[in-house]
């Protein structure tokens, strides 16, 4: 295990913001897990970090950042499914491409979501009508409070919309080491979400779904290597049907997706765009000119600028539409996760 002191983090977060960690630990062998307690000081904040694609470092981290670089993919096969055991440090986009190259469908809607496999269950990543939850079999992790290596089944992970037990009851207590996936051989396309609705169920292949998703994502979302960002900054809010109908009367173009008997999910990007924030800037921070849900680093942006912009957008949307936006990305303060 490598141990670096006062380590810069700008290259370890896709926002590209300047920050540093008091200590940086690089884990690349599962056998090193037993040594963790000896290198972490008592009461020292610990932040496991994958690809850094869903975090905003709001200030220097006064603790240990643990880079999870565990690698490896194992496959078991039954008559009904392929069962994958994937180490947490594997790249999620690379995993999706690998499964498709092997003829395994099931993850194609989630192609090009940045980050590592270990981060996927924390956020219950999702895109284009599919979440990780229905493909997840189990999650292996190190309990940082006891040093015990544990496994939770998918049902025990309490998956929700961009949510899981790892963001709730077990928040800050786990280091995910591997994820189990179940990919059914009787593949069924998930095409309910635009623009995938243009594809035909009886003719489409997993590869074709993946290619369309890649085209859409690369067209609409900025490449973090060219323009610093962490993808969607806010969750799509869920409001009551009554609230939705009231807003719909005032704004007939408001989209909505029924998710429950009295629940409608509405796109956060619509509110931000409608409030006039698309393309706006604050110092080095800004709202992407083509996708209002993405805040970007135009170069040398400071965390304070991104936070001020994010708060201003949220206050404005709430004042104009009565809808409160909640960050999807993790905001990291000096000793751990903070709120907007």
Q: Which residues are catalytic?
A: 162, 232, 328
SS3 sequence of the chain: CEEEEEEECHHHCCCCCCCEEEEEEEECCHHHHHHHHHHCCCCCCEEEECCCCCEEECCCEEEEEEEECCCCEEEEECCCEEEEEEECCCEHHHHHHHHHHCCCCCCHHHCCCCCEHHHHHHHCCEECCEECHHHEEEEEEEECCCCCEEEEECHHHCCECCECCCCCCCCCCEEEEEEEEEEECCCCCCCCCCCHHHCCCCCCCHHHHHHHHHHHHHHHCCCCCCCEEEEECECCCEEEHHHHHHHHHHCCCCCCEEEECCEEECCHHHHHHHCCCCCCEECCEEECCCCCCEEEECCCCCHHHHHHHHHHHHHHHHHHHCCCCCECCEEECCCCEECC
Please give the angle made by the CA atoms of 97, 102 and 105, to the nearest 5 degrees: 70
**CA gap 31, 50 in Å, rounded:** 18
What whole-number distance in Å separates Cα of residue 213 and Cα of residue 109? 7
């Amino acid at each position: 295990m490598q141990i670096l002191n006062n380590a810069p983090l700008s290259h370890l977060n896709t926002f590209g913001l300047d920050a540093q960690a008091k200590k940086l630990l690089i884990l690349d062998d599962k056998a090193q897990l037993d040594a963790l307690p000896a290198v972490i000081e008592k009461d020292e904040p610990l932040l496991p970090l994958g690809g850094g694609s869903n975090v905003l470092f709001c200030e220097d981290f006064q603790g240990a950042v643990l880079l999870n670089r565990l690698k490896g993919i194992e496959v078991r096969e039954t008559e009904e499914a392929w069962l994958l055991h994937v180490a947490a440090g594997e790249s999620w986009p690379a995993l999706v491409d690998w499964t498709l190259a092997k003829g395994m469908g099931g993850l194609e809607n989630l192609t090009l979501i940045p980050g590592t496999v270990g981060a996927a269950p924390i956020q219950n990543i999702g895109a284009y009508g599919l979440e990780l939850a229905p493909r997840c079999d189990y999650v292996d992790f190190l309990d940082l409070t006891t040093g015990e290596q544990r496994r939770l089944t998918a049902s025990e992970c309490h998956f929700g919309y961009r949510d899981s037990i790892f963001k709730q009851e077990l928040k800050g207590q786990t280091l995910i080491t591997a994820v189990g996936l179940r990919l059914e051989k009787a593949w069924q396309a998930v095409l309910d979400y635009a623009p995938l609705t243009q594809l035909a169920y009886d003719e489409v292949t997993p590869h074709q779904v993946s290619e369309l998703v890649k085209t859409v994502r690369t067209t609409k979302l900025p490449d973090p290597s060219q323009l610093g960002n962490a993808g969607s900054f806010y969750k799509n809010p869920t409001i009551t049907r009554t609230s939705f109908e009231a807003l719909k009367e005032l704004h007939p173009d408001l989209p909505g997706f029924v998710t429950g008997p009295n629940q409608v999910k509405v796109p956060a990007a619509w509110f931000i765009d409608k409030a006039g924030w698309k393309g706006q800037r604050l110092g080095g921070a800004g709202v992407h000119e083509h996708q209002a849900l993405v805040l970007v680093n135009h170069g040398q942006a400071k965390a304070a600028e991104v936070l001020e912009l994010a708060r201003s957008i949220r206050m404005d949307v709430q004042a104009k539409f009565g809808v409160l936006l909640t960050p999807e990305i993790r905001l990291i303060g000096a000793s751990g996760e903070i709120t907007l």
